[in-house]
Structure 1
Amino acid sequence: MRTRPPLPPFTAETAVQKVRAAENAWNNQNPEAVSLAYTPDTYWRNRDSFITGREEVVAFLTRKWECELDYRLIKELWAFTGDRIAVRFVYESRDADGQWYRSHGNENWEFDENGLMRVRRASINDQRIDESERLFLWDAPGPRPDDHPGLTELGL
C-alpha cells in the first residue's frame, strides 16, 4: 500500500501541510490526481451528494469543475487530533452565465494509517457575488501562490 505523507497522528505542523496539499491538489483541478489522495473505498458526503470510491470521486469532481468555472479555493486548518482534521474553506467560481459565487464550507476528514483520506464530510453554502468582489485572483487552474493571503488575512 502506498503512503501519502504526512501520516497520522497529526501535529499542528503536519496538519497544516496536509490541508495545503489538499488545497493545491483541488486547485489543479485534475480529478484523477485528486482521487489518489483518498482510499479506494473512500466515503464522502458533499452537500446532498453521497459518494463512495475513487471512481465516483472522479465523476463527481469532473462534473463539479465543468459547472464551477474559474474555480479557486483556499482551505484553512480549523482543528486536528490523531487521524482527523477539520477544515474551513472558501472557493470562488462562476457559472456558465457569468454569475460569480463565493462558497463557504467546513470539512471533516478522517485518514487511514497510510495518510489516505477515508472519510470526507463537507457542508457548503453559496453566496452570489459581483465580479468586482472577487478576492481570489491568481491564475487558474493552479495552486494559490505562497504570498497570497489566506482566509483569516482576507477576513473570511
Structure 2
Amino acid sequence: METRQPVPPFVLETAIQKVRMAEDAWNSRDPEKVSLVYAPTTHWRNRADFVDGRDAVRDFLQRKWSRELDYRLIKELWAFTGNRIAVRFVYECRDDSGNWYRSHGNENWEFNEHGLMIKRHASINDQPIAESERLFHWPLGRRPDNHPGLSELGL
C-alpha cells in the first residue's frame, strides 16, 4: 500500500503541512498527480456530484480544469483531529467566455493510516467577480510562500 506523508494522527504542524500539500497539488491542475493523494476507493461529495474511486476523481478533475481556466486556489486549515482535517478554501477562475468567479468552500477530509484521503465532502458557493476584483495574481502553479493567505486577504 502506498503512503502519503504526513499520516494521521495529525498534530497542528502536520495538519497545516497536509493542507498546503493539497493546495499545491490542486494548483498544479494535473488530474493524474492530484488523484494519487486519494485512496483507490475514495468517496467524494463535491457540490451535488458524488465521485467514487481514484479513477473517477481523475476524470472529474480533467473535466473541472477544462472548464475552470486560470485556476488559482488557496486553502486554510480550519480544524483537525485524529485522522480528519477540515479546511476552508477560495479559488478564482474564469470560463471560456472570460467571466471570472471566486468560489468559496469548505471541505471535510478523512484519511486512512497511509495518509491517503478516503472521504472528501465539499460545499462550494460561486461568486461572479469582475476581472479587476481578482486577488490571486501569481503565475499559474504553486502559490508563492510570500503571497497572503485567506485570513490575510480578509476572505
Task: Please report the TM-score for the alignment, with normalisation by the length of structure 1.
Answer: 0.99
Offset of residue 2 of structure 1: 1.5
Q: Find the counterpart in structure 1 of residue 24 from structure 2.
A: 24
Which runs of 5 or more residues in structure 2 are unaligned?
Answer: none
The correspondence of residues 87-106 of structure 1 with structure 2, limited to 5 A, is 87-106=87-106
Alignment match, 2:8: 8
Distance 1:3 1:55 in 2: 18
Q: Within 2, Cα distance between the matches of 1:81 and 1:11? A: 8
Aligned to 1:147: 146
User: 1:48-127 counterparts in 2 under 5 A?
Assistant: 48-127=48-127
Q: Secondary structure at the match of 1:27?
A: helix
Q: Secondary structure at the match of 1:93?
A: strand
Corresponding residue SS for 1:39: strand
State the percentage of identical aligned residues: 71
What residue ranges of structure 1 are gaps of 5+ in the alignment?
none
Give SS of 2:40's match.
strand
Deviations 1:39-88 (A, max 9, x none): 00000000000000011001100000000000000000000000000000
Distance (Å, rounded) in 1 between the aligned partners of 2:115 and 2:55: 19
Residue type matched to 1:144 in 2?
R
- Deviation of residue 148 (structure 1)? 0.3
> CA offset at residue 105 of structure 1?
0.1
Q: How many residues align?
A: 155
Q: In the alignment, which residue of structure 2 is the partner of 1:33?
A: 33
